[in-house]
Amino acid sequence: MSKVHDASLHRWAGLVAPALHGQATSRQYIMTVPKQFQQLSERVAICLGNPPETAESALAFMEHFDGFRQGSQLEEGLQVLACIDPLYNATQMARLREVHATALGISGAVFREQGLVGTDIKKALNAERLTRISSLF
Instruction: Locate the domains of the chain by residue range.
Output: 6-105
Q: How far apart are CA 73 and CA 40, in angstroms?
A: 8
Asked whether the beta carbons of 81 and 43 are under 8 A apart, the reply is: no
Residue 1 reports pLDDT greater than 50: no
Single pTM value for the model = 0.75
Residues ≥6 apart with Cβ < 8 Å to 5: none
pLDDT one-digit tens code per residue, 23-63: 555 555 555 667 777 788 889 989 999 999 999 999 999 99
Nearby residues of 1 by Cβ (< 8 Å), 6 or more positions away: 34
Chain Cα centroid distance, residue 14: 14
* Per-residue confidence (pLDDT) for residue 13, from 0 to 100: 64
The helix/strand/coil state of 49 is coil
Would you give the DSSP letter of residue 32?
T
Sequence letter at residue 75: E
Provide the pLDDT for residue 4: 43
Residue 86: pLDDT above 90?
yes
The pLDDT value recorded for residue 3 is 41
